[in-house]
Amino acid sequence: MPILRELNAVLTPPHALAPEIPLALHARYLGVELSAAFDHRTREGNFRDYYTGVELTHGKKFDLLLVTLDKAAATKEHLRYRDFPLNEKRFHWQSKARTTRESTEGRRHLDPTRYSVTPLLFVRERADERAGVTMAFRYLGPVEPDGADGERPITIEWRLRYAMPREVLVAGRVAG
């Protein structure tokens, strides 16, 4: 047990957001599965599919930070945000290019407690698992801002409540 905990290979700390939100820490979820977990539907009643960016869910109580580490070469330069792990409990992240510190989105990112928001970090190594198959996001848990710089985009260092799995840290260093 102590070795597994140190390597963070299999065991995860107990964690629950709310009884009605069935997410397991460090598990992988497709975008539509996240939508189902938060019961986030389109006007037609279908579950949404999340890809990247920030999704506000559950009555705007949660900001889902959806990150793809390895940006595709085809991605336009202004969309190549610098998102990567700094260590097992810190993550470097950039907001959307248009986000200012005074915008509603910027204020939610910089001071989530004031707005009763819990930011949740979801990371995947790349957009596609293989041709035509989307890669699932790894749920890394709640995060808190711990330093920010600039705007358009705002660069934020998030402090993770739980250490990320070693393979995410390694994949992020390779991609970054």
The CATH number that applies at residue 35 is: 2.30.280
Place of tokens 């790349």: 126
Contact in structure between 10 and 4 (CB atoms under 8 Å): yes
Cα–Cα distance measured from residue 163 to residue 120, given in angstroms and rounded to the nearest whole number: 13
Q: How much is the pTM? A: 0.87
- Which of 3-7, 12-16, 66-70, 144-148 bottoms out in mean pLDDT, i.e. has the lowest? 3-7
Shortest CA distance to 8 belongs to which of 144, 141, 174?
141
Instruction: Tell me whether residue 24 is in a domain.
Output: yes
Question: How many structural domains compose the chain?
Answer: 1
Which domain, by its residues, includes 103? 18-175
Q: What are the two backbone dihedrals, phi and then psi, of residue 27, each rounded to the nearest 5 degrees?
A: -75, 165
Instruction: Tell me whether residue 111 is in a domain.
Output: yes
Instruction: Tell me whether residue 109 is in a domain.
Output: yes
Instruction: Tell me whether residue 10 is in a domain.
Output: no
Shortest CA distance to 47 belongs to which of 37, 36, 56?
36
Cα–Cα distance measured from residue 66 to residue 83, given in angstroms and rounded to the nearest whole number: 10
For the segment 107-166, what is each residue's pLDDT rounded down to a tens digit? 999 999 999 999 999 999 888 766 667 889 999 999 999 999 999 999 999 999 999 998
Instruction: Tell me whether residue 70 is in a domain.
Output: yes
Cα–Cα distance measured from residue 92 to residue 81, given in angstroms and rounded to the nearest whole number: 10
Cross-strand bridge partners of residue 84: 92
Shortest CA distance to 57 belongs to which of 23, 27, 24?
23
Place of tokens 């097992």: 88
Instruction: Tell me whether residue 120 is in a domain.
Output: yes
Instruction: Tell me whether residue 116 is in a domain.
Output: yes
Amino acid making up residue 119: P
Instruction: Tell me whether residue 112 is in a domain.
Output: yes
For the segment 59-100, what is each residue's pLDDT rounded down to a tens digit? 889 999 999 988 765 455 545 578 999 999 999 999 999 999
Kindly report the number of other CB atoms within 10 A of residue 35's CB atom.
21
Cα–Cα distance measured from residue 154 to residue 33, given in angstroms and rounded to the nearest whole number: 28
- Would you say residue 168 has pLDDT above 50? yes
